[in-house]
Amino acid sequence: MLLKRPSLLLISFFALAFTSDAGAQAFNKTFSVPPESGDLEVVNQTGSIRITTGAAGKVVVNARQNPKQSDDETKIDASQAEGGKIKIEVRGRGAVDFEIVVPPSVNLNLLCHKCSISVANTTGAVTARNNDGMIQLIGLRSPRVEAHSAKGQVSFAGEILPSGNYTLKSFSGRVDATLPVNADFKFQASCYRGGMDLGNFPLKFQKQTDQLVEGMLGSGKASVSLWTQEGSIHLHRKP
């Protein structure tokens, strides 16, 4: 008697789509989102999260899981709530690399235990957190940015919007910020051991010590805060 292969278990709101390719398993999923809004949360363990921008109205998720660095318990859950929020979560301890294309305006909440995070050219709010690995934010026009790393380097290059709030922190890594000289913001930098290099950025200083700098560019409409305990802080002019 021929035995039928077991069917895939379908669970409401969850989608798993793995295919074998050169020793890795691939996950691919596309979600529809409103043209001018949307929320995406990604929770990873190890590997990487890379966010780039594409067409309005859809979020395209591509991921690769390396079976040599995973176990049978490693799974990717991808769900979309009734309100439209998308959540992608890796369960288990496997290494997964995400390549996700989003509309520019999508709000991002990215969390990874031990991996790099990169975001390019978005306009929505961005929260990025990890324990070990680089966080790189390039070409952003976001009203709110929060990037926190325990050990990795944190870098930001983008626009500073009026009333925007931008916080970059790393306990023991380097913190880099590349900002436009025509921006309008309050500035605070705290560094306890690694030192600060503010270059020749034209800030009006209100307080300046080896460990704490407070200043302003323009009338201080936005807020920029840089912090590290063991690392260093570097401020650059946007070309």
Domain count along the chain: 2
Residue where one domain finishes, among candidates 76, 105, 134: 105
Do 129 and 205 share a domain, yes or no? yes
Give the per-residue pLDDT at 66: 73
Write out the residue range of the structural domain in which residue 235 sits.
125-239
* Same domain, yes or no: 100 and 136: no
Name residue 25's beta-bridge partners. Answer: 20, 65
* pLDDT in the model for residue 60: 96
* Contacts with 77 (C-beta within 8 Å, 6 or more apart), sequence order: 14, 16, 87, 88, 89, 90, 91
28 and 81 part of one domain: yes
What does the pLDDT read at residue 70? 57
- Please check whether residues 93 and 131 belong to one and the same domain: no
The answer as to whether 60 is a domain residue is yes
What burial class does residue 136 get, using C-beta atoms within 10 Å of its C-beta: 0-12 exposed, 13-18 middle, 19+ buried?
buried
| 8 falls within a domain | no
Residue 114 maps to a domain: no
Let me know if residue 197 belongs to a domain: yes
Q: What is the pLDDT of residue 26?
A: 85
Residue 35's pLDDT is 76
pTM > 0.85: yes
> Tell me, what's the pLDDT at 14?
35
101 and 129 together in one domain: no
Q: What is the pLDDT of residue 10?
A: 31
Look at residue 55 and tell me if it is in a domain. Answer: yes
Angle at 127 between CA 121 and CA 133, to 5 degrees: 90
99 and 149, same domain (yes or no): no
Q: Which residues of the chain have pLDDT under 70?
A: 1-24, 67-72
Q: Same structural domain for residues 24 and 76?
A: yes
